[in-house]
Structure 1
Amino acid sequence: MSGPERATAGSPASRLGRVALRNSTESVLGNGVLCRAFDYWTRIRNGAAMPLRRDLDPMDMGPALLPHSLLTDVDVAAGSVRHRVVGTNFAENFGRDITGIDLSEVLRGSYFDFVHGLFMLTCKEKLPVFSHSRFRWDEGRMLRTSRLMMPLSRDGRNADMAIVVQVFEHEMPPVLPRVQIFENGSWRDISEQYAFFAVDAPVL
């Protein structure tokens, strides 16, 4: 593309592209908290594949995002996920503080398989992953939850952390989980890979 067709940063084509992406993101995420989180992650990565851990500033995130945020260490090779920093909204819904605890000690069964798989996908592909599904804790409660997982890096090469922003709703969840991955500048539906976590599937 050359001459007047090139979409430079301030060109009408570039602005239209940003508007289209924002509209698409709002349609997919469907929640203002998650949209703000995606905007923040996009801003601090500053054109790189993903932000560095040091780019993440809790003061910059503020009270609109921090209670809904979860910072995790992710070791793809070992298949481990450990909760490093946990927002207050998680403690309220999990019924306890899960700071410093491995994901395998918090979740079990198909729910562990589902969430663990999302973490691995996020960090293997170094891409944001959105999911909308049921949330079930060992007290037998059934909630609806939407989560956005976004990769972070300590060294600028490997995705060894993830920031998760998650909201909970006291409503009936979808029968099948909805999962989308952000790649090549757009959201792609990969829900069919997660049909095993249907609403009537056993969790524990």
Structure 2
Amino acid sequence: MTAELFWDKRLDVLYGYWLEKKGGRAAPTRADFNPAEIKPFLPIVNFLDVQWEPPGFRHRLVGTEIVEHLGRDATGRWVDADLYGQSAGRIFESLLQVAHEARPYRRRSPMNWHPRSWLTMESIELPLVDESGRVNMILRGVSYSSPKNPPPDHYLVAPLPSH
């Protein structure tokens, strides 16, 4: 079990599950995840496909709790300015970092790109690899809150230990 890192403890549990599934490898594969085992987390889960040439990220699956908080379903849509406005570049670059490094990251940021800008988003971004070891998907666990002490108007993107 991992130490508590997140406001939403479901993200801690999802991180522990990812660590368990990866074992001694750099990251687990999508096939390592049994939907029945992560059923309690599906409402906060977002799977993103990773495209390498040219680099891009497409939302494959967006959990119901995410859709409810955002008021939209991004399934099938690309991470771009049409979806994320002025924050698209920062979001894209941080996902690219997860993909290039094949390591988990934690993100905490204000939702200044969304009409509900008073919300703070907290996520864990977990790489998944193909058989060759290249990142082909990112599993995100996402939670929204309006904390009493919100983070400043910048992104916290921090690598997490992968052991």
Per the normalisation by structure 2, the TM-score is: 0.88
Q: How does 1:5-84 map to 2 (within 5 A)?
A: 22-23=2-3, 26=4, 28-63=5-40, 65-84=41-60
Which of 1 and 2 has higher RCO (CA within 8 Å, sep 6+)?
2
Q: State yes or no: 1:112 paired with 2:88.
A: yes
One-letter amino acid of the counterpart of residue 157, structure 1: G
Structure 1: unaligned runs, 5 residues or longer: 1-17, 186-204
Tell me which residue corresponds to 2:102: 126
Q: Equivalent of 1:151, from 124, 127, 134?
A: 127
Give the structure with the larger helix fraction. Answer: 1
Tell me which residue corresponds to 2:160: 182
| Aligned partner of residue 10 in structure 2, secondary structure | helix
Q: Deviations over 1:48-84 (max 9, x none)?
A: 1100111112111022x11000001012442211000
Alpha-carbon distance in 1 for matches of 2:98, 2:12: 17
Higher Cα Rg, which structure: 1
Moved over 6 A (4+): none
Q: Equivalent of 2:74, from 82, 90, 98?
A: 98
Alpha-carbon distance in 2 for matches of 1:173, 1:77: 37
Structure 2: unaligned runs, 5 residues or longer: none
- Check conservation: 2:49, 2:137, Cα contact below 8 A: yes
- Check conservation: 2:103, 2:162, Cα contact below 8 A: no
Instruction: Count matched residues.
Output: 160
Q: Percent identity?
A: 24
